Amino acid sequence: MKVLMHMCCAPCSVYPVQVMKEKGIEIEGLFFNPNIHPIEEFEKRKENVEKLADIEDFFVHYLTDFQEEKWQQIEASDQQRCKMCYEMRLKRTFEYGKEHGFDAVTTSLLASPYQKHELIANIGNEYSKLYDLPFYYEDFRVGYREGIKEAKELDIYCQRYCGCILSLKERINELKQEI
């Protein structure tokens, strides 16, 4: 079984990559995250995905356009922004998986307890029907802490905000309140 795993970032991918490899699943990654802001952060997360791929010895496909137009759409929407963000990334992953003959698709977004897990699973299942391609669902959150600990030991960058400009602003406000 050859699975295309959408990789939101390296630290969230550590546990899913390891657990799937242990199960004998052949994985390839797809880095497609136009939501990440600013461009320097985008590059940093990409570089750390490359680092993890080297360590774990698997291939990653990179779709690296920094899509300002889509980005603005996400910023413009408040309540729905995460839904739009998940849909944008998973839709492209399913398209890519279909085009390149993968047996299934999954995402490292399923690893983070900070994401809207059920929403991601629902979107994955919807696209699975639409593209006639299985969605590999597993609740990777069980290994999130272990994965982050290992990422730090491997000197992999662990970001402190989700990715978009609004999540960055929210994080800055939280830090201001802590001072």
Binding site residues, ligand SF4, CB under 6 A: 35, 74, 81-82, 85, 162-164, 166-167
Q: Which is nearer to ligand SF4, 102 or 167 (CB)?
A: 167
Q: Which is nearer to ligand SF4, 102 or 106 (CB)?
A: 106
Q: Which is nearer to ligand SF4, 10 or 74 (CB)?
A: 74
CB of 2 to ligand SF4, least distance (A): 27
CB of 107 to ligand SF4, least distance (A): 11
CB of 81 to ligand SF4, least distance (A): 4
CA 175 to CA 179: how far, in whole Å? 7
Q: Is 87 left (phi over 0), alpha (psi -120 to 50) or beta?
A: alpha
CA 170 and chain centroid, separation: 20
CB of 101 to ligand SF4, least distance (A): 28
HSE, CB side, 13 Å, CA atoms: give it for residue 71: 18
Q: Which is nearer to ligand SF4, 37 or 53 (CB)?
A: 37
**String of DSSP letters for 19-63:** HHHHTT-EEEEEE--TT--SHHHHHHHHHHHHHHHHHHT--EEE-
Q: Which is nearer to ligand SF4, 8 or 17 (CB)?
A: 8
Helix (H) or strand (E) holding 144: helix 144-153
CB of 54 to ligand SF4, least distance (A): 25
CA R_g for the chain:
16
